[in-house]
Chains A and B, each alone.
With several copies, the nearest count.
Chain A
Amino acid sequence: MQRITEAPLDVNTLLAETENDTCGAFVVFGGVVRNHHQGRGVAGMSYTAYGPMAEKVLEELEQETIQRFGVAECRIMHRIGKLEIGEASVLVAVRSAHRADSFEAGQYAIDTLKERLPVWKEDFYTDGSSGYQDGVPLETSEATETERGGRGHE
Chain B
Amino acid sequence: MLDVQFYGVLQQVAGTRSLQVDLKDDDITVDQVLTQLRQDVPALSAHLPRVACAQGESLVRRSDAVDPRQPLVLLPPVSGGRGPGQWRNT
Which A residues are within 8 Å of any B CB, using their own CB? Answer: 31, 47-48, 50, 52-53, 55-56, 98-100, 108, 111-112, 114-122, 132-145, 151, 154
Contact yes or no, A50 B73, CB < 8 A:
yes
Interface residues of B in 73-89 (CB under 8 A from A): 73, 75-84, 87, 89
Nearest chain A residue, comparing its CB with the CB of B59 = A140
Contact yes or no, B49 A143, CB < 8 A:
yes
Contact yes or no, B58 A53, CB < 8 A:
yes
Q: What is the size, in residues, of chain B's interface with A at 8 Å between Cβ atoms?
A: 31
Summarize B's interface: helix, strand, loop or mixed. Answer: loop
Cα-based distance from A136 to B8 in the complex (angstroms): 13
Contact yes or no, B83 A140, CB < 8 A:
no
Chain B hits for A117, CB < 8 A: 78-79
Contact yes or no, A48 B7, CB < 8 A:
yes
Contact yes or no, A114 B48, CB < 8 A:
no
Besides A118-B78, A138-B75, 18 new A-B residue pairs in contact (Cβ under 8 A), listed by A number = A50-B54, A50-B73, A56-B58, A98-B81, A114-B78, A114-B79, A114-B80, A115-B83, A118-B7, A120-B7, A120-B78, A120-B79, A121-B79, A134-B77, A137-B76, A140-B53, A140-B62, A141-B51
Summarize A's interface: helix, strand, loop or mixed. Answer: mixed
Known interface pairs A48-B7, A132-B8, A136-B77. Does A142 touch B49 (Cβ–Cβ under 8 Å)? yes
